[in-house]
Amino acid sequence: MSRQTNKKCAYCGEMRKSTIDHVIPRCLFIKPYPQNMITVPACDECNGKKSRNDDFIRDMLTTDVYGGTHPLAKQISMTKVARSAVRRSSDVAKTMFKQGRKTPFYSHGGILLGQVYSAPLNVKRINQAFFTVVRGLYYFKFKQCLPDNYDVKVLRYHPQDFRQVVKQFQEQLSPNPLPLLGEVFSGTFVIAEEDPFTSVWLLCFYNRIGISITVSNPELNLRGNENPSSEFGR
């Protein structure tokens, strides 16, 4: 990564020497990378914190029951993720080995299709990892830092449900699009009128994994009642 001088860090807001951070982790891609990768300046400390969750996101998405069916995700799972598992550096693999279990897998219509191997993951870490991604996306769009004390809620959807959510989002809210990064990433978002930091983000990975991230001011009590999804697996 190229060294910069006295850039405002997208994550902490401090003026520090920084590197170029890829908001959507490069480890989710295979070369050649898209030319329009989303980048922001990040200080060494924030970049280091984020990088520790980049592999976590990669391992979680590429071994997901839906995301893992995409050819790119399969290739990454069989190479990068497999190597991390052998080195015992993959927290997702460790959780799968310790807590993984076979669970029934149903179609969207409720038909039993068989069993898949899944494991509960750390909800707090999932929230933190995707909140960091959203903070990078927010800075990329507005050159401002999201407050780190805002509430965050991460929800994962069945692919069919997510398509409906995106459709309603587009019809009712006039959302702002995010750069399309090949078949790995797409997204859109809306900002609340009463608070420029309160926002809802719809992110899609590998054309199969739909996630919403709601960022809200705790003082405005805008949180919903849904529970964050903690089940990622294959």
Instruction: For residue range 13-59, list pLDDT tens digits in order.
Output: 999 888 999 999 999 999 999 999 999 999 999 999 999 899 999 99
Per cent of the chain over pLDDT 70 is 87
Q: Edge-to-edge, what's the strand order for the sheet holding 209-216? A: 151-157, 209-216, 199-205, 185-191, 176-177
Cα–Cα distance, 206 to 137 (Å, whole number): 18
This model's pTM is above 0.75: yes
Residue extents of the structural domains in the chain: 3-99, 123-233
Tens-place pLDDT, residues 98-143: 887 777 666 676 766 666 767 777 889 999 999 999 999 999 999 9
Instruction: Tell me if the bond preceding 159 is cis, omega within 30° of 0.
Output: no
In CATH, which of 1.10.287, 3.40.50, 1.10.10, 3.30.160 is domain 123-233?
Answer: 3.30.160
How far is it, in rounded angstroms, from Cα 119 to Cα 122? 10
